[in-house]
Amino acid sequence: MAIAAKIADTAEVTSDSARTSDPVLERIDFIYSEMVPLQWTPPADRWRHLQRTVETLQKGGTLRVVMLGDSIVNDTSRSSWEKLVERLYPGAHIEKVTSVRGSTGCWYYKDPTQLQEYVLKHKPDLVMIGGISHRDDIDSVREVIRGIRAALEPDPEILLMSPCFGHKDPRVDPEWTFDVPSDGNSFRSRLKKLAEEEKTAFLDMTGPWGQYLRTCGEDIHWFKRDIVHANARGEAILGRILEKFFTP
C-alpha cells in the first residue's frame, strides 16, 4: 500500500510539472544555454518613469504592452522576452501586442489614423517604441508620445529603445560606444534626451547589444538570419537585455 501511495504521489507531481512547463520558455532557455551569458548591469534609475508598470508586475497583475516599430522590433518581440519577465514576477501576465510594419518608424505612426490602428485601439498600459526605421526623425517620435498621451486615459507609460542590429556591426563601427554620448548628435543620443524631456523610460539596447557582440567570441553572422535581422540567437540577446532591464 505504501509503495502504491508513493507511486501515486510521484505521478501527481510529474503531472503538475507537465501542466506548468512552458514550451516557449524551454525553447528560449535551450537556445540561450548554448550562448555566452549576457553580462550587463542596467542603470539603477531605469524604472523612474515606469512606476505603474513595475507595480503591476510586482502585484502579479496583467500588463498590456504594445511594441511599436519595424522588423527589428518584431525580432525583439520574437525573443519572447515577456516569458522571461513573467518568470521574475510570479502571477504576473503580460499581454503583448506586436504592432509593427516593415521599415517603418514614427514618421508613419504619428498619423492619427495609423496611431489609432497600431496603438490606441489596443489600450496599452505600456508602449515600447524601437527599431532602426525612424529616419533620424526625433520630432516624429515626440509626436507619437504626445499623441498617445492625449488620446488615452490614464496615460500609458512609454519606453523608448535605442537601435540594434540592422546593417551596423559594433565590432568594427568606429562610432559605437557602450555609453550613450551625452553631447552627441546621433539618433541614440537624441532619443535619450527626448526621453528625459518627455519623461519616458529609456532602454539603451545599443550599448549592451554591442558589448555582447564585441566580447562573446562569435562572428556577428552567428546571430543573424540575413544582413539586417536577428536569428533565434540574436533574438535571445535582445530578450535577455529586456529580462535584465526588468529584473528586480
Q: Would you say residue 11 has pLDDT above 50?
A: no
Residue 20: pLDDT band with limits 50, 70, 90: low
> DSSP per residue over 174-197, as a string?
TT--SSPPTT--SHHHHHHHHHHH
Q: How many domains does the chain contain in total?
A: 1
For residue 30, the Cα-to-chain-centroid distance in whole angstroms is: 19
Residue 62 belongs to a domain: yes
- Position 203 scores a pLDDT of 99
Q: What is the mean pLDDT of the chain?
A: 94
Residue 145: CB atoms within 10 Å = 24
- Position 89 scores a pLDDT of 99
Residue 162 belongs to a domain: yes
* Structural domain boundaries, residue 73: 46-246
Residue 77 belongs to a domain: yes
- Nearest to 24, CA basis, from 248, 246, 232: 232
Residue 14 belongs to a domain: no
Q: What is the pLDDT of residues 158-180, one digit of tens each?
A: 999 999 999 999 999 999 999 99
- Position 198 scores a pLDDT of 99
- Position 2 scores a pLDDT of 40
Residue 138 belongs to a domain: yes
Q: Would you say residue 230 has pLDDT above 60?
A: yes
Q: Would you say residue 13 has pLDDT above 80?
A: no
How far apart CA 241 and CA 213 sit, in angstroms, is: 13
- Position 184 scores a pLDDT of 87
Residue 40 belongs to a domain: no
Residue 37 belongs to a domain: no
Q: Any idea what the CATH number is for the domain that residue 92 is in?
A: 3.40.50.1110
Query: In the sheet that 93-100 helps form, which strands lie side by side, from edge to edge?
Result: 93-100, 62-69, 126-129, 157-161, 201-203
Q: What is the pLDDT of residues 24-78, one digit of tens each?
A: 999 999 999 999 999 999 999 999 999 999 999 999 999 999 999 999 999 999 9
- Position 183 scores a pLDDT of 87
How far apart CA 217 and CA 194 sit, in angstroms, is: 34
pLDDT-above-90 percentage for the chain: 90
- Position 215 scores a pLDDT of 98
Residue 18: pLDDT band with limits 50, 70, 90: very low
How far apart CA 193 and CA 191 sit, in angstroms, is: 5
Q: Would you say residue 87 has pLDDT above 90?
A: yes
Residue 236 belongs to a domain: yes
